Copies of this chain bind each other. A is one copy, B any other.
Amino acid sequence: MSKKISLKDIAEAVGVSTALVSYVLNDKDEQTRVNKDTAKRIREMAKEMNYQPNQIAKSLKSGKSQAIGLLVADISNPFFGNLARAIEDEAKKHGYSVLFGSSDENLENSQRLIDTFINRQIDGFIIAPAEGTASQLEYLKKANIPFVLIDRYFKGLETSYVVIDNFNATYQATQLLLNQGHTKVAYVCYKNQLQHTEDRYSGYLQALLDHGNAEDSNLICEVEFNNAAYFREQFIELLQPDRGVDAILFSTNTLSIMGLKIINELNITVPDDLAVFCFDESEAYDLFYCPISYVKQPLSMIGKEAVKILLEQLRGKASSEQKVMLDVEIVARKSCQK
């Protein structure tokens, strides 16, 4: 690599000390009242030699890296891809770089990435935590490493987070289906311990109860993550005529897609035979013959807020945790009609 230009090189070229160059190039020459002419010469030389500061050295010195670690649960999921884009965008605006990693919903991956990022002295984290990583977050708290959770949070854990109002999201969607006259509204969800999973279920359930319906385990299809075969089996079971299901609410984008696919295979007509309400956006929804209703998350807002909060913490402004709960948009289209 063609030798990189360092402060020293330009100091020698101009005939001043490195300290002076550092001052000028960091625009501290006003306070320090550096000779205007010297300053100019330094700046010109820096430009001429195409000087690029070595961030690594800066970081070592300052203990700050001007980088944040973004840990998502699965980068190949477009939901997180879009979120990542929003975050990278916003971070860039503030002069921060983004180191990223995908835990793939796996505990060990998550821990390893956290360690790697810490070793690289990232200034803070934005994390969409995988199940069971509460203790990892506890560790971050103890170590006083700033972080903001997105998409998911843990009830027992005092942290900053930016999430959507999950309860309200499913509540509204369910209510909408019920108000359309559907009587047996089924619910499809993952089986896990994540708070947002529970919140979404609670929203669904409360809407049922408020509408005078009873909780009915026959209407629930709860499946493991990453087990397509099991999902297929359970979901087809749910759709058996004897169950009498006339509407379905999916609680995630992946479940929505898998479900719609099977609905297609079984030649079930939406919304005549079955009404459906999906979660999250997907380009896939647009290809379904019937316009899909869905719960729309404010993705770029989530990203923006998360970065904002993290930066505030980094700057020491925010003394305590900030919890942000954003509203979703309910996009009701033909698929949920009676």
Chain A interface residues (CB < 8 Å from chain B): 1-2, 52-57, 59-60, 65, 67, 74-78, 80-82, 84-85, 88-89, 92, 97-102, 104, 112-113, 115-121, 142-145, 257, 260-261, 264, 282-289
A283 CB → nearest B CB, Å:
5
Supposing A53-B119, A97-B120, A119-B55 touch, asked if A88 and B60 sit within 8 A by C-beta, the answer is no
**Which residues of B lie under 8 Å from residue A283 when comparing CB positions?**
257, 282, 284
Q: Pull 5 A–B residue pairs with CB atoms less than 8 Å apart, ordered by A.
A: A52-B119, A75-B85, A92-B101, A261-B287, A282-B283
Query: Within the complex, which residue of B2, B88, B286 is in contact with A142, where a contact is CB–CB below 8 Å?
Result: B2
In the complex, the answer to whether A289 meets B289 with C-beta atoms within 8 Å is yes
Report the Cα distance A280→B159, complex, angstroms.
Answer: 40
Supposing A78-B78, A283-B282, A287-B288 touch, asked if A52 and B144 sit within 8 A by C-beta, the answer is no
In the complex, the answer to whether A54 meets B119 with C-beta atoms within 8 Å is yes
**Which residues of B lie under 8 Å from residue A257 when comparing CB positions?**
283, 286-287
In the complex, the answer to whether A75 meets B65 with C-beta atoms within 8 Å is no
Report the Cα distance A288→B143, complex, angstroms.
Answer: 50
Copies per assembly: 2
In the complex, the answer to whether B102 meets A85 with C-beta atoms within 8 Å is yes
Report the Cα distance A257→B53, complex, angstroms.
Answer: 44
Supposing A84-B75, A289-B289 touch, asked if A116 and B101 sit within 8 A by C-beta, the answer is no
A10 CB → nearest B CB, Å:
15
A301 CB → nearest B CB, Å:
15
Interface of A is mostly: helix
Please, which residue of chain B has its CB at the minimum distance from the CB of A145? B1
A287 CB → nearest B CB, Å:
5
**Which residues of B lie under 8 Å from residue A60 when comparing CB positions?**
54, 56-57, 60
**Which residues of B lie under 8 Å from residue A104 when comparing CB positions?**
85
Query: Within the complex, which residue of B2, B84, B99, B285 is in contact with A143, where a contact is CB–CB below 8 Å?
Result: B2
Supposing A78-B78, A261-B286, A285-B287 touch, asked if A118 and B52 sit within 8 A by C-beta, the answer is yes
In the complex, the answer to whether A115 meets B261 with C-beta atoms within 8 Å is no
**Which residues of B lie under 8 Å from residue A65 when comparing CB positions?**
56
In the complex, the answer to whether B287 meets A55 with C-beta atoms within 8 Å is no
Report the Cα distance A67→B88, complex, angstroms.
Answer: 17
A277 CB → nearest B CB, Å:
15
Supposing A81-B81, A286-B257, A287-B257 touch, asked if A88 and B115 sit within 8 A by C-beta, the answer is no
A289 CB → nearest B CB, Å:
5
A57 CB → nearest B CB, Å:
6
A39 CB → nearest B CB, Å:
22
Please, which residue of chain B has its CB at the minimum distance from the CB of A117? B97
Closest 9 CB pairs of A and B: A284-B284, A81-B81, A1-B144, A76-B85, A55-B119, A76-B82, A261-B286, A287-B288, A75-B85
Please, which residue of chain B has its CB at the minimum distance from the CB of A267? B289
Supposing A118-B52, A257-B283, A289-B289 touch, asked if A88 and B76 sit within 8 A by C-beta, the answer is no
Report the Cα distance A53→B144, complex, angstroms.
Answer: 18
**Which residues of B lie under 8 Å from residue A56 when comparing CB positions?**
56, 59-60, 65, 120-121
